[in-house]
Structure 1
Amino acid sequence: MSTAKGKTNKKPSTVANSYLFLYNFIQVFGWSYLLFQIVNFYVNPPKDQTLWDIVKYTVGIFQNAAFIEIINVAIGLVKSNLAVTIQQVLSRVAIVAAIAFIPETSNSPGLPLALTAWCFAEITRYSYYGFNIIGYIPYLVVWARYTFFYVLYPVGVSGELLVYWTSLGYLGKTKMWSIEMPNKYNFSFSLWAAICIVMLVYIPLFPQMYLHMVYQRKKTLSKLELKKVQKKKFLEDNV
């Protein structure tokens, strides 16, 4: 007699949940601190420092800490698409690298736009994940997670594209990290061209991401409203 083997839904251990909860709320703290730095920079502007001078270490630490998310997905602690997670993390890291290594980008008008959008997006995202681990997500956090994107996506994408655009002049002049023919490897690479291609990729990807979030918002908030109605009806029926 054969027995059917079904999929076992293994729940993360208490240690794993504690680790994930801690990671998410450390990120909430980090991005909240970065938001404070940005606001303080414009409220009390320093004399001889740019915005990037003020925030570079905070951005470097907490954005690069997102590599941990790739590991979490790869080892099965978090149920998510590994390829999508890698793409999301690397796209942000690429922006940070551009700002760090290409001088002109630190004065780009896109820098404060991108960083501010990232702050609000990450504070709500990591709060959502953190509360989800303990099984209770406040409605305000859910609403923010699935509503702020209406503004944050266009602002963030505009900021990122402006940062890339600002880098092109410098890359065109210096040929930074580019390999020209002829050479012994019979290979050429242009960072200027690579960034142009990345910018063009935003054109088809942005509408897809935006419409996906519109759909997710409708789906998620509709479920919450239905639960609220059912709970209210239950209470009324049992008074």
Structure 2
Amino acid sequence: MGKVSFVNPLALYNLFSAGLWGYLLYNAIVVYPKIGQPEFFYEIKSTLNAIQCGALIEVFNSLFGIVRAPLLTTFAQVASRLLLTIGVFQYLPEAENAHNKTFVSLVIAWSITEVVRYSFYYFNLTLTCGAPKLLVLLRYNLFWVLYPLGVASELLIIYSALPVGESKYSANVRWALIAAMLTYIPGFPMLFSHMVVQRKKIMRSIRSTTKKEN
């Protein structure tokens, strides 16, 4: 099986990112049951923020045409997550839903999504035949569950931060968070429909390949 150069910087970035999100997934599965909430939140919130901030690289990669990902879609997803990891977890850590299972569901949804996504990109860059079929199926099918779960968790956490933002800072912070929540109305359908369109193309390609092999 032929391979592209392993030292491809973009491939290494994806491999490293998959490993970091895998570490967070490990924490959600293994560490959380041992320490519970809110200890789990305070244990990983800074690590989660640092890893998510690394995704800003993807915005620049899209902006300069290094990758083919749509700029608007990439920016919307990264911005919505940074609102959580920086805006809420760093400045409004008292938000109630950051201290219960909602935060855990958020970490699990994000982590599984990113482990699969970055692994998919890595193998596409390093294997001449592309990513393994199982990984392709996971990439274009898990989003049916993980996207709604992630978005629901995000909105619940932001909602619980509204009174915290107002009492800790000002009413302007509350209204800013409400405005951010309203952006999910056009944002979620845009991101979700993008994945649905991509899934149709990929699944059509898989079925076509399978027929030829048979």
TM over 0.5: yes
- Picking from 144, 148, 156, the partner of 2:150 is 156
1:108–1:162 contact (8 Å) kept in structure 2: no
- Aligned residue identity for 1:29: G
Q: CA deviation at 1:147?
A: 0.6
Unaligned stretches of 5+ residues in structure 1? 1-12, 179-189, 233-239
Q: Distance in 2 between matches of 1:227 and 1:212?
A: 23
Name the counterpart of 1:228. Answer: 210
Q: Comparing 71-80 with 165-174, which one deviates more in the overlay?
A: 71-80
What is the root-mean-square deviation of aligned Cα atoms in Å? 2.2
Name the counterpart of 2:176. Answer: 194
Q: Comparing 116-125 with 81-90, which one deviates more in the overlay?
A: 81-90
- Aligned residue identity for 2:84: I
- Picking from 185, 193, 202, the partner of 1:203 is 185
Name the counterpart of 2:164. Answer: 170
Q: CA deviation at 1:175?
A: 2.9
SS of 1:131's equivalent in the other structure is: helix
Name the counterpart of 2:134. Answer: 140
Name the counterpart of 1:122. Answer: 114
> Identity percentage over the alignment?
32
Summarize the Cα distance change of 1:95–1:215 in structure 2 as closer, same or farther, 3 Å threshold.
same
Q: In the TM superposition, what whole-angstrom CA distance separates every residue of 1:144-178 from its partner, at most 9, and x where no partner exists?
A: 011101110111011000110110111122334x6
Aligned residues: 206
Q: Distance in 2 between matches of 1:154 and 1:74?
A: 27
> What TM-score results when the alignment is normalised by the length of structure 2?
0.86
- Aligned residue identity for 2:81: R
- Higher normalized helix content (fraction of residues): 2
Unaligned stretches of 5+ residues in structure 2? none
Name the counterpart of 2:13. Answer: 23
2:38–2:99 contact (8 Å) kept in structure 1: no
Name the counterpart of 2:41. Answer: 52
SS of 1:104's equivalent in the other structure is: coil
Summarize the Cα distance change of 1:169–1:109 in structure 2 as closer, same or farther, 3 Å threshold.
farther
Q: CA deviation at 1:109?
A: 4.1
Summarize the Cα distance change of 1:214–1:80 in structure 2 as closer, same or farther, 3 Å threshold.
closer
Q: In the TM superposition, what whole-angstrom CA distance separates every residue of 1:73-125 from its partner, at most 9, and x where no partner exists?
A: 23332123333322221211111011121022231543112111000110111
Summarize the Cα distance change of 1:103–1:114 in structure 2 as closer, same or farther, 3 Å threshold.
same
1:102 aligns to 2:96 (yes or no): no
Q: Which has the higher contact order (CA 8 A, sep 6+)?
A: 2
Name the counterpart of 1:217. Answer: 199
2:76–2:187 contact (8 Å) kept in structure 1: no
- Picking from 51, 54, 59, the partner of 1:70 is 59
> What TM-score results when the alignment is normalised by the length of structure 1?
0.78
